[in-house]
């Protein structure tokens, strides 16, 4: 990434990350107590904590010219929170794209004056790559949740059938000695 654009992002880091966090919070229902934004304790406010700390690390990873794979753990923590909430897949990962909106709003004038469009577009491309990674993680989380639900349903069904005396176990010896015949 060009040093001029990177320096600009470094200089405006605190402001951009703060506005990005505000944008993310806007995707949640009204929070009259301000808990998501104001409570910093990871146990009192696990959602706000995961999001706040996560976006700081993601922002740093986007500034570096290294692979985004190294921020997979951070992104995973953030996506897991959103995967169990009532977000559609697009809404669950939309917070990544919100950074692009914030940067455009805050830095549009400077980008135009300094003519740093190529660097800006390169940065936006990294944000897009991060969003794709987020979607992969989200899909994996949803698969896990569905598997947990399926396993629980199977367990409950088995328990109910057993309680209703509609199911019994066949002793292994009896099962092994029976000859299986198929009518074709």
Let me know if residue 19 belongs to a domain: yes
In the chain, the N- to C-terminal Cα span, in Å, equals 68
Let me know if residue 124 belongs to a domain: yes
Let me know if residue 175 belongs to a domain: no
Domain count for the chain: 1
Do residues 138 and 82 lie in contact, with contact meaning Cβ atoms separated by under 8 Å? yes
Let me know if residue 131 belongs to a domain: yes
Residue 171 in tokens:
């002793």
Query: pLDDT digit string (tens) for 151-164?
Result: 899 889 888 888 88
Q: Which domain holds residue 52?
A: 3-163
Query: pLDDT digit string (tens) for 91-141?
Result: 999 999 999 999 999 999 999 998 999 999 999 999 999 999 999 999 998
Let me know if residue 20 belongs to a domain: yes
Residue 99 burial (C-beta neighbours within 10 Å; 0-12, 13-18, 19+) = buried
- For the residues 18-27, what does the mean pLDDT come to? 92
Do residues 20 and 59 lie in contact, with contact meaning Cβ atoms separated by under 8 Å? yes
Let me know if residue 115 belongs to a domain: yes
Helix axes 89-114, 72-83, angle to 10 degrees: 130
Note the pTM of the prediction, 2 decimals: 0.75
Let me know if residue 178 belongs to a domain: no
Let me know if residue 123 belongs to a domain: yes
C-alpha closest to that of 20 among 90, 86, 78, 88: 78
Most confident option among 34-38, 48-52, 59-63, 177-181:
59-63
Question: Is the pLDDT score of 176 beyond 90?
Answer: no
Q: Which residues contact 13 (CB under 8 A, 6 or more apart)?
A: 59
Residue 14 in tokens:
């605190």
Question: Is the pLDDT score of 62 beyond 60?
Answer: yes
We report the CATH number of the domain holding residue 8 as: 1.10.490
């Amino acid at each position: 990434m060009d040093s001029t654009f990177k320096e600009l992002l470094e200089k405006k880091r605190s402001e951009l990350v703060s506005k990005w966090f505000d944008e993310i919070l806007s995707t949640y229902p009204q929070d009259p107590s301000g808990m998501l934004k104001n409570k910093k304790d990871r146990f009192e406010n696990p959602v706000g904590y995961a999001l706040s700390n996560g976006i700081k690390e993601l922002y740093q990873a986007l500034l570096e010219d290294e692979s985004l794979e190294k921020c997979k753990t951070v992104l995973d923590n953030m996506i897991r929170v959103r995967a169990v909430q009532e977000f559609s897949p697009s809404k669950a990962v939309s917070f990544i794209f919100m950074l692009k909106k914030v940067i455009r709003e805050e830095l549009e004038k400077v980008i135009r004056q300094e003519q740093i469009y190529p660097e800006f577009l390169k940065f936006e491309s990294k944000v897009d790559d991060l969003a794709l990674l987020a979607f992969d993680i989200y899909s994996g989380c949803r698969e896990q949740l569905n598997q947990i639900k399926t396993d629980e349903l199977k367990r409950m069904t088995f328990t109910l059938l057993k309680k209703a005396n509609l199911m019994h176990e066949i002793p292994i010896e009896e099962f092994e000695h029976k000859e299986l015949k198929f009518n074709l």
